[in-house]
Amino acid sequence: ELKVEQNPLFLSMQEGKNYTIYCNYSTTSDRLYWYRQDPGKSLESLFVLLSNGAVKQEGRLMASLDTKARLSTLHITAAVHDLSATYFCAVDKNNNDMRFGAGTRLTVKP
């Protein structure tokens, strides 16, 4: 059974600091997704990582994937308040059957 674990579940950061969110999954998959959800809103796609060693960057966010370790990271550089949201990673079972992590609620404080 595919399990997806994120940590930390809650993260409070100061503006300007760096931090990393971790996403571990239990069985082989060839792609991993990161989504963002603002409070009371829907989810929007941030990154899709397709292969081992894949790295994608958008602004202050950078995601990477290590399929051998079954680990993805979402690195936040010089955090700003606008990044406050809940971040989810998700993995599919090599079909359309998706499993999401529990989410990391990020709060960036001035």
Pick 33 or 83: Cβ nearer another protein? 33
Q: How far is the CB of 75 from another protein (least distance, A)?
A: 20
Q: Are 42 and 25 in contact (CB under 8 A)?
A: no
Provide the 8-state DSSP code for 81: G
CA distance 51 to 21: 19
User: Rounded to the nearest 10 degrees, how much is the dihedral formed by the CA atoms of 12, 7, 45, 64?
Assistant: 110
Pick 24 or 80: Cβ nearer another protein? 24
Residues that bind another protein (CB under 8 A): 4, 9, 31, 33, 35, 41-45, 48, 50, 88, 90, 92, 94-103
Q: How far is the CB of 3 from another protein (least distance, A)?
A: 11
- The pair phi, psi for residue 54, each rounded to 5°, is -65, 140
Pick 31 or 60: Cβ nearer another protein? 31
Q: How far is the CB of 24 from another protein (least distance, A)?
A: 14
